Chain A
């Protein structure tokens, strides 16, 4: 029983048998960071994208116009910085920077979520802006015509439609997040890749270990993409509709 395996799949089974609690812990960590980071990042992206798509009404007061201008400048800088630098570098800067500059001892798990959120938010913001400008302007005018304010028209009509169109993009972000958590190993977050690295070096079985890791990543991303497809279909509503028989109508 104690003999070491000789085949590829023998090693795979052996490693799984011995290290499954660590693989499981790494998977859970990866999924948690990706899930929280994507959800918060998408929320942040929505806020930023909406800010970027604000059209300043020429009848608005100078104060509110200046405020909107300032807000737009701030979010533009944020987007440029986080889209323009590698996430791995951001992780280093945020984690070690906060420690050295401010003496903050950030939990690595928390730092990982923070980095992923800020990164996802920056990418998502651009997609959200695009999705909002892509909605037919007639939708806004239709809303104005029955007395909606710009805010009401956006929240009730435009953003829900933009959101529906963004689900494939949210899926993309989610899937990249799951994979991108692997770069967080540089700040010692015990996510799946970090676990893989330590398992691989315990018996020097690199191929088998990373094969296992790959399969886990693939299962995670596949399940997520199917779930989002399901959500898309749900939001589209039923393909059929029932005609309603009018019982209150007068008989002609």
Chain B
């Protein structure tokens, strides 16, 4: 195993007009790590993920993938995204396709895989997320939790090196949160490299190798779940966590 982090963010800054959303972010992800990013709404967590996946252009700083600075040429963007997947809060399943087609299309179009290869992968990962039975359904016919599990399967079909999760359970009602977290937890156990922006504190504590706390566009502190949840170094972190404890 190489020592180079799979993803490395250096001095990342992002402004929308005069509004500074991210300031001087330094952050890296090693292979096999599961990193939870927590923090209040508007702290820049999602923007950080979106910058990493090039859905937003950073205003400052550099992002490295396997030691090389990201290239923003359209071709390189696609190649990078095929290797680092993203799961969204709003699922973003393709509405014009069935569940099975949603999972197959990436393999066929991006990786130029054969139809049978794509179908094999799609069925394998749909089985893994417990959605095999629903392969002929359309996204509109599924519940939120089911959609998110399909979205995860769609990413897995690309056999990515890492997956970014942008609040994967925030749009779900409490009963469905569990089924999605269960799937992510299983991926963690299998050693998938993941960065998860989440408000599920117990989940973050259970599955993360490292937790990052962000507030007002900066990383306030990071550490192991035990360090961050039980011995926070900053008052801001302690305040934020105490609000969750009361619930």
Contacts and interface: CB of A to CB of B under 8 A. Distances in A.
**Are both chains from one complex?**
yes
Interface centre among B73, B78, B96 (most CB of A within 10 A): B96
Contact of A243 (B87, B106, B133): B133
Interface in A173-196: none
A18 interface: no
Contact of B158 (A144, A146, A164, A244): A146
B238 interface: no
Contacts of A57: 74
B45 interface: no
Contacts of A144: 53, 55, 77-78, 81
11 contacts: A59-B73, A142-B92, A146-B85, A146-B110, A147-B80, A148-B78, A156-B94, A160-B96, A164-B96, A244-B132, A244-B133
B92 A145 contact: yes
A145 B53 CA distance: 8
A161 B97 CA distance: 10
A134 to B, nearest CB: 13
Given A139-B95, A160-B96, A147 B74 contact: no
Interface residues of A, number: 32
A245 B123 CA distance: 12
A241 B134 contact: yes
A151 B57 CA distance: 20
Contacts of B79: 147
B75 interface: yes
Interface in A122-179: 136, 138-139, 141-150, 152, 156-157, 160-161, 164
B72 to A, nearest CB: 4
Given A145-B81, A244-B132, A249-B127, 10 more contacts: A57-B74, A59-B72, A136-B92, A138-B88, A156-B109, A161-B95, A243-B134, A244-B134, A246-B132, A246-B133
Interface in B125-161: 127, 132-138, 141, 151, 154-155, 158
B105 interface: yes
Interface string A221-246: 00000000000000001000111111
B94 to A, nearest CB: 5
Pairs A-B, 3 closest by C-beta atoms: A147-B82, A142-B92, A146-B106
Given A152-B109, A244-B133, A246-B132, A237 B78 contact: no
A202 interface: no
B93 interface: yes
B55 A248 contact: no
Contacts of A244: 132-136
Contacts of B81: 144-147
A161 B96 contact: yes
A6 interface: no
A248 B127 contact: yes
Interface centre among A145, A148, A246 (most CB of B within 10 A): A145
B110 A147 contact: yes
B214 interface: no
B86 interface: yes
Contact of B55 (A141, A150, A242): A141
B90 interface: yes
